[in-house]
Structure 1
Amino acid sequence: MTQGQLMPDLSPLPLPPSYRCRPATAADAEAVHQLVAACERELLGRADTGLDSIAADLTLPGLDPALDTLLVHDAAGMLAGRAWMNPGQRAEVDVHPDHRDRGLGSALLDWVEARAVGSGRERMSQTVQDNDRGAAALLRSRGYGPLVTQWLLEIALPVEPVVPPPPAGITVRPFRPGDERAAHQLTEDAFDEWQKRRKSYEEWARHTIERPTFAPAISPVAFAGEAMVGAVLSLDVPSLGEGYVERVAVRRDHRNRGIARLLLRESFRAFHRQGQRTCTLWTHSETGALSLYERVGMTVRRSSTVYSRALRVPG
Structure 2
Amino acid sequence: MDLPEGLTARPLVMSDARAVYDVMAAQELADLGMVEIEEADIVSDWARPSFDVSAQGVGVFDGDRLVGYAEFARPDRGDAAVDPSYRGRGIGTALAAWMREKAASFGATVVGMPVPEGSPSDRLLAGLGYEVRWSSWVLQLPEGADIVDRPLPDGYAVREADPSEYPAVHTVVEDAFLEWSVRDRETFDDFRAVVMGRPGFEPWMVRVVTDPAGEVVGVAIESIYVPDDDRPAEAFVSRLAVRRDQRNRGLAQALMVDAFRVARDHGAVTCGLSTDSRTGALGLYEKVGMKVTSTWVNRAISV
Residues 219 and 232, structure 1, Cα contact 8 Å, conserved in 2: yes
Deviation (angstroms), 1:30: 1.2
Choose from 107, 119, 122 the match for 1:120: 107
Choose from 253, 257, 261 the match for 1:269: 261
Superposed counterparts of 1:162-311, under 5 Å = 162-197=148-183, 198-224=185-211, 225-239=213-227, 241-311=233-303
Deviation (angstroms), 1:16: 1.3
SS at match of 1:236: strand
Matched positions, count: 297
Higher relative contact order (CA 8 A, sep 6+): 2
Deviation (angstroms), 1:215: 4.1
Residues 7 and 61, structure 2, Cα contact 8 Å, conserved in 1: yes
Deviation (angstroms), 1:237: 1.8
Match of 1:98 in 2: 85
Partner letter of residue 248 of structure 1?
Answer: L
SS at match of 1:221: strand
Matched, 1:61 2:49: yes
Residues 162 and 269, structure 1, Cα contact 8 Å, conserved in 2: no
Residues 216 and 234, structure 1, Cα contact 8 Å, conserved in 2: no
SS at match of 1:73: strand
Q: Percent identity?
A: 33
Match of 2:20 in 1: 32
Deviation (angstroms), 1:192: 1.0
Matched, 1:147 2:133: yes
- Alpha carbons of structure 1 residues 26 and 275: separation in structure 2 relative to 1, 3 Å: closer
Q: Deviations over 1:203-235 (max 9, x none)?
A: 222222221233432442111113100011110
**C-alpha separation in 2, matches of 1:82 and 1:17:** 17
Residues 157 and 272, structure 1, Cα contact 8 Å, conserved in 2: no
SS at match of 1:153: strand
Deviation (angstroms), 1:29: 1.0
Residues 213 and 237, structure 1, Cα contact 8 Å, conserved in 2: no
Deviation (angstroms), 1:200: 1.0
Q: TM-score, normalised on structure 1?
A: 0.89
Match of 2:66 in 1: 79
Deviation (angstroms), 1:77: 1.4
**C-alpha separation in 2, matches of 1:32 and 1:231:** 30
Q: Deviations over 1:285-304 (max 9, x none)?
A: 00111111111111211110
Residues 85 and 115, structure 1, Cα contact 8 Å, conserved in 2: yes
Residues 43 and 198, structure 2, Cα contact 8 Å, conserved in 1: no
SS at match of 1:179: helix
Partner letter of residue 195 of structure 1?
Answer: S
Q: TM-score, normalised on structure 2?
A: 0.93
SS at match of 2:104: helix
Deviation (angstroms), 1:249: 0.5
**C-alpha separation in 2, matches of 1:162 and 1:215:** 25
Matched, 1:47 2:39: no
Unaligned runs of 5+ in 2: none
Q: Which moved more, 1:201-210 or 1:154-163?
A: 154-163
**C-alpha separation in 2, matches of 1:245 and 1:29:** 22
Residues 208 and 246, structure 1, Cα contact 8 Å, conserved in 2: no
Unaligned runs of 5+ in 1: 1-12
- Alpha carbons of structure 1 residues 226 and 90: separation in structure 2 relative to 1, 3 Å: same
Q: CA RMSD in A?
A: 1.6
Partner letter of residue 270 of structure 1?
Answer: V
